[in-house]
């Protein structure tokens, strides 16, 4: 009787926690926890695994890393932010070797879990790791570099010499890094072209809805468009998506997406989307999973790569000479020989 | 009639400020006012929902949910049928249905109206989050067009007469509602039902029927606000799309003293301060900390509220279920 009740409780607990779906790999789920097995568990932030954003990219990276290491990968979709610790525990108790947690918001839960399960390696995607736990690695990105490159391209694409941006709130560090990098990138291009280019970054007022206010994003983008701005960078969840979607309604204007290649996530922006200031999540996660397998992974923070996404439909709108210059600048920025001017 | 009433002096102040800004920079002022109107319209329409319900004695805090679910339906029906008109019609029907459900709970079942509205909000949030699929697009939005001649008027033309179809419909709805409430038998009966339902009943007005009709129509107006956001202003849908506008609208309704034009003015004021807050960042004229510019709409709202505060009085029978013979 007790056994049956506990089985029902366990089933109910699983039901409230979310869906668990395995991926194919050499090792099977039953092997996890045994010697020689390599299992990678991924806990998503709120939202689906196929969100075409952070969750999906991190999951692709985890699968790629596990596959290369001959291991097994599985994910849990978080349905409620109160379940972060619970979901991590499910993997830890099952003897998983690596647990990938996705998103800035799960930082505290990951740090706490790392302390609790010293044998498990934790990879925190987009989490700045301030702890000294040797088994917790934050995967972070130089947003200022991605923003700088986006600004540089924008500075070459503008015909009106007015370049704008519509962002989430300034108080969030990655947003500010994108913004300052962007403005400095524009001025870098302006200097090369010996032109005066105006750059204006508009941040959403601080508040609960700063990253989920597409109507504000669209209206503000339109305000910039009616004043002659012809390249607009949108960054900040659905607020930014609203902005680039609006730019697409104006013929001849360009927009720039953020975080991942938004050509696939914001299809309404396709007509204007020249590129996205991208964080290479898939690569970063698979690299760290590989390091965990090899035993070379270190605590602290791992800086992932950034860059610009392909031009897609607007390939022909970017002059060949600009592409050459952009390539050169990209090399310089990523190597650190060109400063993004971000002061922190 | 006194010339220097409080209201007239506000109108005079607003006109003087507009003229001053326009003389400084015509193009930017025009752009800012057009932006302010875009910010204001969904808020004003949402406030109309509140006015229409509360004028007949029903408190509707489900405006946010009504807008959310109708924006969702507008977008996804437009996507499925590849036709934004069908999307709009479906959205209006669903909005009316939401209103009808509220009336059912509040009038027939005599439920607590705050709970009834909350049910609508929870239902809308849950359904739209669950059914939402990313990566869908609609064939087009309600494109901006110019109304001939009128759009050539300096300043007023570009601000008022170059918009998508739903903006014009929305503005018309607000004007019609104003005339309807104050100058038609329907308006008189509605107000009577909201103030003193038993007297209205004695005079032969069916309280329940009028409440059903008004709350249902109000739902459709809420849907118009949602459809405007999804099919004209933004052209997409995301989870949590309304971002609190349905609640802001309740404050604007009170600020506007349950008068459609008052609520419209309040919404325009709020929209304009938002547009000017953005404009300060765009211009970078002076290096004001962004936290200050971001707080500006709220600070100004508090200042204006403090200055203009008088006694506001909601409809007397608001929130009370009506039973015959009580």
- What ipTM is given for this predicted complex? 0.89
Contact in structure between A235 and A169 (CB atoms under 8 Å) = no
Of all residues in chain A, the one with the smallest CA distance to B297 is A205
Q: Give the pLDDT of residue A172.
A: 81
Measured between beta carbons, which residues in chain B are less than 8 angstroms from residue A208?
244
Residue A177: exposure state from Cβ atoms within 10 A (0-12, 13-18, ≥19): buried
| Site of tokens 């540089």 | A152
pLDDT digits (tens, 9 = 90+) for B259-289: 999 999 999 998 998 898 889 888 876 566 7
What's the rounded mean pLDDT across residues A203-231? 90
Q: Check B236 against A265: CB less than 8 A apart.
A: no
pLDDT digits (tens, 9 = 90+) for B133-167: 888 899 999 999 999 999 999 999 999 999 999 99
Q: Give the pLDDT of residue A231.
A: 98
Distance CA B207, CA B214 (A): 11
Query: Is the Cβ of B291 closer than 8 Å to some Cβ of chain A?
Result: yes
Contact in structure between A29 and A22 (CB atoms under 8 Å) = yes
| Site of tokens 């090792």 | A27
SS3 A213: coil
Reported confidence tier of residue B190, pLDDT bands at 50, 70, 90:
very high
Reported confidence tier of residue B3, pLDDT bands at 50, 70, 90:
low
Q: Give the pLDDT of residue B48.
A: 98
Domains of chain A: residue spans and CATH: 2-141+281-305 (3.40.50.2300), 143-279+311-335 (3.40.50.2300)
Q: Of residues A47 and B263, which shows the higher confidence score? A: B263
In A170-286, the DSSP E strands lie at 198-203, 231-235, 254-259, 273-279
**CA of A263 to nearest chain B CA: how many angstroms apart?**
10
Q: Give the pLDDT of residue A36.
A: 85
What's the rounded mean pLDDT across residues A155-178? 92
Distance CA A209, CA A233 (A): 19
Contact in structure between B227 and B74 (CB atoms under 8 Å) = yes
Q: Give the pLDDT of residue A20.
A: 53
Which residues, listed in sequence order, are joined to residue A186 by a DSSP beta bridge? none
CATH fold of B21-134+142-308, please? Answer: ABC transporter involved in vitamin B12 uptake, BtuC (1.10.3470)
Smallest CA-to-CA distance from B214 within B47, B28, B50 is with B50
Smallest CA-to-CA distance from A214 within B237, B130, B165 is with B237
Alpha-helical (H) ranges within B104-133 are 113-131
Whether the pLDDT of residue A38 is over 90: the answer is yes
Distance CA B73, CA B67 (A): 10
pLDDT digits (tens, 9 = 90+) for B49-107: 999 999 999 999 999 999 999 999 999 999 999 999 999 999 999 999 999 999 999 99
Task: List Cβ neighbours of A254 (8 Å cut-off, separation of 6 or more).
Answer: A154, A157, A230, A231, A232, A247, A272, A274, A314, A317
What's the rounded mean pLDDT across residues B228-234? 96
Under DSSP, the state recorded for B150 is: G
Interface with B, mutate which of A219, A246, A251, A313 (most B CBs under 10 A)? A219
Whether the pLDDT of residue A14 is over 70: the answer is no
CB-closest option in B34, B39, B281 to A202:
B281
CB-closest option in B32, B236, B281 to A245:
B236
Distance CA A298, CA A68 (A): 20
**CA of A227 to nearest chain B CA: how many angstroms apart?**
7
Q: Give the pLDDT of residue B287.
A: 67
Task: For strands A273-279 and A306-308, give the pairing.
Answer: antiparallel
Q: Of residues B23 and B94, which shows the higher confidence score? A: B94
pLDDT digits (tens, 9 = 90+) for A265-322: 899 999 999 999 999 999 999 999 999 999 999 999 999 999 999 999 999 999 999 9
Q: Three-state secondary structure along B229-265?
A: HHHHHCCCCCCCCCCCHHHHHHHHHHHCCCCHHHHHH
Query: Is the Cβ of A160 closer than 8 Å to some Cβ of chain B?
Result: no
Q: Give the pLDDT of residue A8.
A: 53
Predicted TM-score of the model (pTM) = 0.85
Whether the pLDDT of residue A15 is over 70: the answer is no
Whether the pLDDT of residue A189 is over 80: the answer is yes
**Residue count of chain A:** 344
Reported confidence tier of residue A1, pLDDT bands at 50, 70, 90:
very low
Smallest CA-to-CA distance from A99 within A126, A135, A133 is with A135
Buried b (16+ CB within 10 A) or exposed e, A304-342: bbbbbbebeebeeebeeebeebbeebbeebbeeebebeb
Helix (H) or strand (E) segment spanning residue B18:
helix B6-24
Report chain B's mean pLDDT, rounded to a whole number.
Answer: 91
Report chain A's mean pLDDT, rounded to a whole number.
Answer: 89
């Amino acid at each position: 009787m007790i056994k049956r009740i506990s089985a029902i409780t366990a089933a109910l607990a699983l039901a409230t926690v979310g869906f668990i779906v395995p991926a194919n790999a050499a090792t099977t789920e039953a092997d996890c926890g045994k010697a020689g097995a390599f299992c990678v568990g991924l806990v998503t932030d709120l939202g689906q695994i196929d969100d075409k954003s952070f969750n999906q990219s991190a999951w692709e990276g985890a699968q790629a890393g596990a596959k290369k290491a001959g291991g097994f990968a599985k994910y849990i979709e978080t349905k409620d932010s109160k379940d972060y610790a619970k979901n991590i525990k499910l993997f830890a108790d099952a003897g998983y070797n690596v647990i990938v947690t996705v998103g800035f918001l799960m930082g505290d839960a990951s740090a706490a879990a790392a302390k609790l399960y010293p044998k498990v390696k934790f990879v925190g995607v987009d989490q700045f790791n301030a702890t000294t736990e040797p088994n917790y690695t934050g995967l972070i990105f130089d947003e200022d570099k991605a923003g700088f490159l986006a600004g540089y391209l924008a500075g070459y694409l503008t015909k009106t010499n007015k370049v704008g941006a519509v962002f989430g709130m300034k108080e969030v560090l990655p947003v500010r890094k994108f913004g300052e990098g962007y403005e400095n990138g524009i001025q870098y291009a302006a200097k090369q072209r010996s032109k005066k280019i105006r750059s204006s970054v508009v941040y959403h007022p601080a508040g609960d809805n700063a990253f989920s206010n597409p109507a504000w994003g669209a209206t503000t983008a339109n305000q910039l468009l009616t004043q002659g701005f012809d390249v607009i960078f949108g960054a900040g969840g659905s607020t930014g998506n609203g902005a680039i979607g609006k730019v697409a309604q104006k013929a001849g204007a360009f927009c720039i997406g953020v975080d991942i290649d938004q050509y696939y996530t914001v299809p309404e922006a396709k007509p204007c989307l020249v590129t996205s200031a991208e964080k290479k999540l898939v690569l970063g996660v698979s690299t760290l999973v590989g390091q965990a397998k090899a035993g070379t992974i270190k605590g602290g923070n791992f800086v992932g790569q950034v860059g610009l996404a392909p031009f897609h439909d607007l390939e022909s709108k970017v002059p060949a000479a600009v592409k050459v210059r952009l390539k050169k600048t990209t090399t310089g920025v990523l190597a650190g020989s060109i400063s993004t001017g971000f002061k922190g | 009639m006194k010339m220097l009433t409080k209201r007239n002096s506000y109108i005079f102040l607003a006109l003087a400020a507009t003229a001053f800004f326009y003389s400084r920079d015509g193009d930017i002022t025009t752009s800012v006012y057009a932006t302010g109107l875009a910010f204001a319209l969904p808020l004003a329409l949402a406030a109309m929902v509140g006015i229409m319900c509360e004028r007949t004695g029903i408190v509707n805090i489900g405006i946010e949910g009504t807008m959310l679910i109708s924006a969702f339906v507008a977008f996804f029906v437009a996507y499925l049928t590849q036709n934004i008109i069908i999307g709009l019609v479906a959205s209006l029907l669903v909005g009316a249905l939401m209103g009808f459900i509220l009336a059912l709970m509040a009038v027939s079942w005599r439920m607590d109206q705050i709970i009834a509205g909350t049910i609508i909000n929870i239902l809308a949030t849950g359904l739209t989050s669950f059914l939402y699929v990313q990566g869908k697009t609609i064939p087009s939005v309600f494109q901006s067009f110019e109304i001939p001649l009128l759009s050539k008027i300096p300043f007023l033309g570009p601000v008022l007469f170059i918009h998508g179809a739903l903006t014009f419909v929305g503005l018309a709805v607000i004007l019609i509602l104003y005339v309807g409430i104050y100058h038609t038998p329907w308006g008189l009966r509605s107000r009577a039902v909201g103030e003193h339902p038993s007297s209205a009943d004695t005079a032969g007005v069916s309280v329940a029927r009028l409440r059903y009709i008004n709350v249902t129509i109000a739902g459709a107006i809420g849907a118009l606000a949602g459809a405007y956001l999804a099919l004209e202003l933004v052209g997409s849908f995301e989870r949590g799309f309304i971002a609190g506008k349905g609640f802001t609208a309740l404050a604007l309704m009170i600020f506007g003293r349950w008068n459609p034009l008052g609520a419209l003015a309040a919404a325009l004021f709020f929209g304009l301060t938002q547009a000017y807050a953005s404009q300060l960042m765009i211009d970078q004229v002076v290096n004001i900390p962004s936290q200050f510019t971001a707080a500006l709409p709220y600070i100004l709202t508090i200042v204006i509220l403090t200055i203009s505060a008088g006694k506001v009085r909601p409809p007397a029978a608001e929130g009370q279920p009506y039973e015959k013979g009580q």
